[in-house]
Structure 1
Amino acid sequence: MRGIAILGMVLAAGTAAAGDWESPARGSQLRGDLLDALRPLVEWQLGAPVEFVVTEMRVKGDHAFATLVPQRPGGGRIDMAQTPMVAREEFDPELAEGADHVEALWVKSGRQWVALHHAVGATDVWYSWEPICAKFRDVIPEACGGP
């Protein structure tokens, strides 16, 4: 029994170390700054206007990561077949599992956040690539094989 308790403490300590990021509150300046930095990039792909439902957002130091659901203001669903990225033949909605999600990575540059990498409707964990992990492991440790 003692061994199980010790194992539990070790696992909890590892989780705390890996998850020592901040999750900005809804309506906070930080959350707004991050979403505003990403919005023009996603609107280029999906058409304006776009709002985001935050599934998860992590910030640690000068790095941030989020998984988001894009929608039209008021909760309207985005018709992927009618988006600019489909019109430009950059995305085939027939081959994708759906584009109802966005993942993004930001870096803080001076006083502003810059959306450095993002994907709409990705079907793989694109951010587990080692060059990305080398920079962003602090906010995506589970995708990068640990802290």
Structure 2
Amino acid sequence: MRKTLALIVALALPGAAQAWEEPARGTPLRADLMDALRSSAEWSLGVPVDFVVSDLRVEGDVAFASGTAQRPGGAAIKLEDTPAYRRGEIDPMMDNTTMQALLQRSVHAWVPVHSAIGATDVWYATQDFCPVWGPVLPEICDNK
């Protein structure tokens, strides 16, 4: 009964169960998150990298980011030309350059603690991440 009532309230009041925010384009917070994600992506995909963001969520000192890496101006990244491919770390048959990351704010900067490029599954959909990233993964974590 309690879970049913919570579900009804969550569906009836959009945003009521959502505590996270999406930083607006052009804000320092969004720039900081994209810079943190970019440093991780550039190690694997080479420089320079821009993102088409599909989901960006922040709550307190944790964040979730999902998007597609590309070259500035919108050019696709050829996986066979990337440092990670040359190191044998990625397969050109993977789900292209989609990227997801779980980030955490340290004293001085945002840090991508867990990330994946080209994942073909929803690797972050596990209760293991919920104690820290539950606020930005409410559809995965049972936040009571």
Q: 1:130 deviation in Å?
A: 2.4
Residues paired across the two proteins, number: 137
Letter in 1 for 2:90: F
Letter in 2 for 1:70: A
Q: 1:17 deviation in Å?
A: 3.6
Q: 1:11 deviation in Å?
A: 2.1
Judging changes above 3 Å, is the alpha-carbon distance between structure 1 residues 51 and 78 closer, same or farther for their aligned structure 2 residues?
same
Letter in 1 for 2:34: L
Q: Secondary structure at the match of 2:115?
A: strand
Letter in 1 for 2:135: D
Question: Paired residue for 1:131?
Answer: 128
Q: Secondary structure at the match of 2:139?
A: helix
Take 1:11 and 1:133, find their aligned partners in 2: how far apart are those partners?
21
Question: Does structure 2 retain, via aligned residues, the 8 Å contact 1:127–1:133?
Answer: no
Question: Paired residue for 1:62?
Answer: 61
Q: CA RMSD in A?
A: 1.7
Q: Secondary structure at the match of 1:45?
A: helix
Structure 1, gaps ≥5 residues long: 1-6
Take 2:36 and 2:45, find their aligned partners in 1: how far apart are those partners?
15
Letter in 2 for 1:103: Q
Take 2:81 and 2:117, find their aligned partners in 1: how far apart are those partners?
15
* More helix per residue: 1
Q: 1:74 deviation in Å?
A: 0.7
Question: Does structure 1 retain, via aligned residues, the 8 Å contact 2:127–2:140?
Answer: no
Seq. identity, %:
48
Structure 2, gaps ≥5 residues long: 1-6
**Deviating more after overlay: 104-113 vs 82-91:** 104-113
TM-score, structure 1 as length reference: 0.84
Give the number of the structure whose alpha-carbon radius of gyration is greater. Answer: 1
**Deviating more after overlay: 67-76 vs 108-117:** 108-117
Question: Paired residue for 2:89?
Answer: 90
